[in-house]
Amino acid sequence: MKMCVIFTLLLLVVLASAEEDNVGKIESVEKKCQEKTGVSEESLQKIMRLEEVDDPLVKENALCTLKAYGVMDDDGNIFPDKFEEKLKPEIGADEAKRVAEKCAVKKDSPEETAHQTLWCATEENALTDTSQEQ
Enumerate domains of the chain plus CATH numbers: 31-127 (1.10.238.20)
Do residues 89 and 22 lie in contact, with contact meaning Cβ atoms separated by under 8 Å? Answer: yes
Report, in angstroms and rounded to the nearest whole number, the Rg of the chain calculated over CA atoms: 17
Structure confidence at residue 129 (pLDDT): 54
Structure confidence at residue 29 (pLDDT): 81
For 55, the 3-state DSSP assignment is coil
- CA–CA gap between residue 19 and residue 37 (Å, rounded): 27
- CA–CA gap between residue 106 and residue 117 (Å, rounded): 9
Q: pLDDT tens for the chain, 134 residues: list them.
A: 443 233 333 333 333 333 444 444 456 888 899 999 999 999 999 988 999 998 999 999 999 999 999 999 988 899 999 999 999 998 999 999 999 999 999 999 999 999 999 999 999 998 865 444 33
